[in-house]
């Protein structure tokens, strides 16, 4: 059985991390940081957009800023074939 995370990576998803700064409802001059991480498609980030839409609709903390980093975990292999071998005495 293949894991859901691996299947999503094969579909082009990569690990996305968002650092979300928001204002505290009771103290709007203070910022709090929330780190969100999930598999998402760059550059449109539909999963992150859904989460931020949920945040705006359901949570009280006003969003201040969002910093996003993304990494495709499955990529070309970094192996090279060996064409020659030397033995030193």
| 47 inside domain | yes
What pLDDT does 37 receive? Answer: 96
| 65 inside domain | yes
- Is 62:28 a contact under the CB 8 Å cutoff? yes
Confidence band of 73 (pLDDT split at 50, 70, 90): low
How many domains does the chain contain in total? Answer: 1
- The token pair that represents 45 in the structure block: 């980030």
| 77 inside domain | no
| 34 inside domain | yes
| 78 inside domain | no
Condensed to tens digits (0 to 9), the pLDDT of residues 7-59 reads 888 888 889 999 999 999 999 999 999 999 999 998 999 999 999 999 999 99
Q: Is the pLDDT of residue 5 over 60?
A: yes
| 13 inside domain | yes
Q: Is the pLDDT of residue 78 over 60?
A: no
Nearest CA to 49 among 61, 59, 36, 34?
36
What one-character-per-residue DSSP string does 62-89 give? PEEEEEEEEE-SS---------------
- Is 18:29 a contact under the CB 8 Å cutoff? no
The domain of 22 spans 4-71
């Amino acid at each position: 059985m293949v894991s859901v995370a691996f299947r999503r990576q094969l579909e082009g998803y990569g690990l996305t991390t968002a650092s979300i700064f928001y204002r505290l409802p009771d103290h709007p001059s203070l910022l709090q940081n929330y780190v969100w991480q999930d598999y998402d498609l760059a550059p449109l980030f539909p999963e992150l957009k859904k989460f931020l839409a949920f945040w705006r609709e359901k949570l009280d903390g006003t969003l201040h800023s969002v910093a996003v980093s993304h990494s495709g975990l499955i990529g070309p292999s970094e192996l090279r074939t060996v064409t020659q071998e030397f033995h030193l005495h």
